[in-house]
Amino acid sequence: MATFKFQGIKIEEAPETAVPKCPKCEKRLDTVWIKTKGLGFVEQKQILMCPYCESLLGYGTYAITL
């Protein structure tokens, strides 16, 4: 389980109907684009993009352990 450390903020599960908004164009993100770049099996970097205005929403790296 992930541990969130926001002091004084209550963390709640978002309702099923909640759809995040793009911080730039404010469109509802029912879809996000993922761009994956990486060295195949070893490590991949992923970029999350808004499909409407192509803003970068976030990125991450993950490693696949075999």
* Interface with Zn ion in residues 36-65 (CB under 5 A): 50, 52-53, 55
DSSP 6-51: -TT----PPPTT---B-TTT--B-S--EEEEEESTTSEEEEEEE-T
Query: Which residue in the set 24, 28, 35, 37 belongs to the binding site for Zn ion (CB under 5 A)?
Result: 24
Helix, strand or coil, per DSSP, at residue 59: strand
Q: Minimum CB separation from Zn ion for residue 57, in Å?
A: 8
Cβ proximity to Zn ion, 35 vs 63, nearer residue: 35
Closest to 36 in 3D by CA, of 47, 28, 27? 47
Cβ proximity to Zn ion, 19 vs 63, nearer residue: 19
Q: Minimum CB separation from Zn ion for residue 50, in Å?
A: 3
